[in-house]
Amino acid sequence: MLNKIFPVIAVGLLSLSTACAGDTSQVNNFKIVPEKQHSAVYSTSMQLIASYHYQKPQLADKFSADAFDSYLKNMDASKVYFYDSDIASFQKYKYQIDESIFSGDLTFAYEVFNTYQSRLMERINYALTLLNDSTNFNFSLADSIEIDREKSSYVKTEQEMNALWALRLKYECLSQKAAGKSFKEISETIKKRYENLKKISQKTKSEDVFQLYMNSLTEITDPHTNYYSPRASQDFATSMSLSLEGIGATLQTENEYTKVREVVKGGPADKSKKIHAGDRITAVAQGDSDFVNVIDWRIDDVVSLIRGKKGTIVRLEIIPADDPTAKRIVEIKRDKIVLEDQSAKSSIKEVSRKGKTYKYGVISIPTFYIDFAAARKGDANYKSTTRDVKKLITELKKQKIDGLIIDLRNNGGGSLQEAVELTGLFIKSGPVVQVRDATGNTGSEIDKNPELFYDGDLVVLVNRFSASASEIFAAAMQDYGRGVVIGEKTFGKGTVQNMVGLNEFIKIDDKQLGEVKLTIAKFYRVTGSSTQHKGVIPDIEFPGVYDGDEFGEDASPYALPWDQIASVPFERVNLYTERVEKFKRLHSQRMTASKEYQYLLEDIQQFKVLNEKKYQTLNVDGYKKELEDAESAKKKRADERKLRNASNPDLILDEALEILVDIQTIK
């Protein structure tokens, strides 16, 4: 529908864009300025969002103020580059951004960036000077550094800035000092980092600045609305085709770091079990070569370093999400991410209770996939989630399983069609999910196949990283009373996006102008409750290590809100609803006696303590003690597991198996 109505405004936007295209300032040798197409792309993109985004954001003073804050935060979240006086000089633009959208004026965007670039070079030069003298680095002092400066004030003087950076540099040297390296070795390593940062920064292109600014504006409409530059758009298309050679991880920028947003199931990072969502990448090395520091780098440059030919080795220095005070070196062999690695897979688990052995099938679904190209060609053997799961269930039935577990943990979603069709394997027929568009029109995605392919006992596993299509399936199983949902509260992404090519609206010298990913609709359960923000609350819930403010839809202050619409008629199965409270009581009893559950609670508490930590000691002896204590705790746990013969336990899966036994023994 959107593709039909967008051209209606194309003529008006084209004339506006053409008028703005010649307003770009002359390029000089010292400052980055907009390219001639940016003015038109700016106006067109933001007006498309204002007209067709689900919430239709008002381009007025509040939007302008939010955009102002968002851009400054994205430029310097830790407040280690801009002075208070710089921010004061930008204030004149705070309520003018809305007007600049209609005029195509990008003065604010490039003035801020050029100021940032100047401050960055000042700090790099200061760091290189400081690293020339070992007397600047006394690790026996009882000093510390503020870890998170997001809520701190901007500094007022150069003296304050230098003092802040002296601590920052000391922190960068700390782990190497603790490892026994000499100051000469440390200094050479850190100097290389800053020299590389200078080279990369000097290569910044106008398109890089424009994309950063645009996404600072789009993200305040909601976190899934984005601008893709021509290069980013090409990378997105490549990743969607699953032909990308690399490590299999989706990255994003957070403050000065490149952060792992998602690990692709079946990819090299996932198979290594060494990279996880939330890890921050600080340096990258090719094979045995030296590490290149990537703090403060543009994300596309970091991606270029990590990506490479199949079979080659990349080493990453990371700050783990579960231990923000530590650093680890991870070695990964690059490989091609192929559809087969993303396929659903099955296994059989056995549980013994009171002299009886139960056999359960487990089907892990990493994503909701379908090979559209093969399906369109009429290939009778095209791959899809539902087709593969049907085959797996058929094989499991032959082995006479007593029940089934569908594991959707870390499944970030995918094809809506597949979520609906997979649901249809477990219900006779009926609505699966409601979709409401920006005009308020609501429709239902319906399973029309009356066949009940699997009618046995069912458990669905989810966690914080189960999103979108995963949430649709889990919610349907819960609402119909068809399965028991177990695990952590899910991600909470209940929105629908559409990619819009900007070349459909404006043409400038045959240039590729990129795309806008636009939120156009919301998902609702058959009960009328949105999956947005709240996600799916499991019937039997486990506490999550990752806080909602860090991961999930809750992490963005601009996420669309939860709301509710009318329910649609559907026929509940209610196989388990009346017994869930009994299952919960038995679950609680097992968890009270479970050592692994106690470990989970300890991990959550430790993560909370680390996440709330305000300052990091820069005293090398104190830092070593922190590392030793952490290593000692890990060794103690490993020894305890060895005594119990419990290597690599999966607490949630093990409990799901026990709950299946409860289901079949408690009537």
Residue type for position 283: A
Domain count, the chain: 4
Same domain, 50 and 177: yes
Q: What secondary structure, in 3-state letters, does 588-633 show?
A: HHHHHHCHHHHHHHHHHHHHHHHHHCCEEECCHHHHHHHHHHHHHH
386/318 same-domain check:
no
pLDDT confidence of 370, banded at 50, 70, 90? Answer: confident
| Distance of alpha carbon 178 from alpha carbon 325, whole angstroms | 13
Identify whether 256 is part of a domain.
yes
Q: What is the mean pLDDT of the chain?
A: 88
The CATH number that applies at residue 474 is 3.90.226.10
- Which pLDDT score is estimated for 7? 28
pLDDT value of residue 237: 55
Q: Is residue 581 part of a domain?
A: no
Single residue among 306, 336, 366 that ends a domain in this structure: 336
Taking the C-alpha atoms of residue 374 and residue 382, their distance in angstroms, rounded to an integer, is 5
Based on the fold, state whether residues 345 and 309 are members of the same structural domain.
Answer: no
Q: 428-432, long-range: CB within 8 Å, 24+ apart, which pairs?
A: 428/452, 428/571, 430/480, 430/526, 430/570, 430/571, 431/526, 431/568, 431/569, 431/570, 432/472, 432/476, 432/526
- pLDDT number for residue 565: 97
User: What percentage of the chain has pLDDT greater than the value 70?
Assistant: 92
Structure tokens at 376: 């369109």
| End position of a domain, from candidates 200, 218, 236 | 218
Token pair of 625 as six digits = 């003690």
Assign 587 a pLDDT band (cuts: 50, 70, 90).
Answer: very high
Given pLDDT bands bounded at 50, 70 and 90, which one contains residue 535? Answer: very high
User: pTM of the entire structure?
Assistant: 0.83
Is residue 43 situated within a structural domain?
yes
pLDDT at 630 over 80: yes
The predicted structure's pLDDT at residue 11: 25
How deeply is 660 buried, as exposed, middle or buried, from its count of CB atoms within 10 A (0-12, 13-18, 19+)? Answer: buried
Instruction: Kindly tell me the sign of the dihedral angle through the C-alpha atoms of 297, 155, 124, 178.
Output: negative
CA distance linking residue 418 with residue 439, whole number of Å: 26
One-letter-per-residue 3-state SS of 136-150: HCCCCCCCEEECCCC
Residues 452, 438 share a domain: yes
Task: Answer yes or no: is 587 within a domain.
Answer: no
Q: Is 544 within 8 Å of 464 (Cβ atoms)?
A: yes
Instruction: Please give the residue range of the domain that contains residue 154.
Output: 2-218
Is the model more confident about 509 or about 447?
447
Q: What is the mean pLDDT of residues 448-457?
A: 94
DSSP 437: E
3-state helix/strand/coil string of 412-425 = CCECHHHHHHHHHC
Q: Which pLDDT does position 236 carry in this prediction?
A: 60
Does the pLDDT at position 50 exceed 90? yes
Helix (H) or strand (E) holding 404, with range, is: strand 403-407
pLDDT exceeds cutoff 50 at 36: yes
The number of helices, as runs of H, and strands, as runs of E, in the chain is: 21, 21
Q: CATH no. for residue 328? A: 2.30.42.10
pLDDT in tens, 114-152: 999 999 999 999 999 999 999 999 999 999 999 889 889
Tell me phi and psi for residue 278, to 5 degrees: 95, -15
**Pair (322, 186) in one structural domain:** no
Q: Is the dihedral of CA 74, 79, 85, 88 positive or negative?
A: positive
CA distances to 144, 317, 531, 613 from 616, rounded to whole Å, are 5, 19, 38, 8
Same domain, 358 and 435: yes
Q: Which residues are designated catalytic?
A: 468, 479, 493
User: Do 337 and 248 form a contact (C-beta atoms < 8 A)?
Assistant: yes
- Quote the tokens at residue 172: 């960068």
Q: What mean pLDDT is predicted for residues 578-589?
A: 94
| 591 is a domain residue | no
Whether 29 is covered by a domain: the verdict is: yes
Q: 100 or 506, which is more confident?
A: 100
The whole-number pLDDT of residue 28 equals: 37
Are 320 and 438 contained in the same domain? Answer: no
Looking at the structure, tell me whether residues 259 and 390 fall in a common domain: no
In this structure, is residue 563 part of a structural domain?
yes
Contact in structure between 301 and 291 (CB atoms under 8 Å):
no
Neighbours of 406 (CB within 10 A): 29
Percent of the chain beyond pLDDT 90?
A: 61
| Residue range 292-315, pLDDT digits in tens | 888 877 777 788 788 888 888 999
Per-residue burial over 563-573, b if 16 or more Cβ lie within 10 Å, else e, is eebeebebeeb
Statement to judge: residues 180 and 255 lie in one domain: no
Q: How many other C-beta atoms lie within 10 A of the C-beta of residue 336?
A: 16
Q: Assess whether 421 and 515 both reside in one domain.
A: yes
pLDDT tens figures, 207-262: 999 999 999 999 999 999 999 988 777 766 554 444 445 787 878 777 678 888 77
* 515 in the same domain as 409: yes
Q: Which residue(s) pair with 529 in the sheet?
A: 564
pLDDT over 80 (residue 19): no
Q: Tell me whether residue 288 is exposed, middle or buried, using C-beta atoms within 10 angstroms of its C-beta: 0 to 12, 13 to 18, 19 or more.
A: exposed
374 pLDDT band, cuts 50/70/90, is confident
Instruction: Give me the amino acid identity at 96.
Output: Q
- Rounded to whole angstroms, the Cα distance separating 353 from 291 reads 53
Question: Which of 514, 541, 576 is at the close of a domain?
Answer: 576
Tens digits of residue pLDDT in 186-203: 999 999 889 988 988 888
* Gap between the Cα atoms of 634 and 205, Å rounded: 45
Q: What is the rounded CA–CA span in Å between residue 127 and residue 165?
A: 7
pLDDT bin (cut points 50, 70, 90) of residue 99 is very high
* CA distances to 54, 55, 88, 556 from 70, in Å: 21, 19, 16, 12
More confident residue, 246 or 627: 627
Asked whether the predicted pLDDT for residue 512 surpasses 80, the reply is yes
**pLDDT greater than 70 at residue 466:** yes
Dig out the tokens for 22 from the structure.
Answer: 């010649």
What value does the CA radius of gyration of the chain take, rounded to a whole number of Å? 27
Query: Is 236 inside a domain boundary?
Result: no
How far is 188 from 255, CA to CA, in rounded Å? 25
Q: Are residues 548 and 604 both part of a single domain?
A: no
Q: Which residue has the higher pLDDT, 115 or 285?
A: 115
For tokens 């609206």, the residue is 505
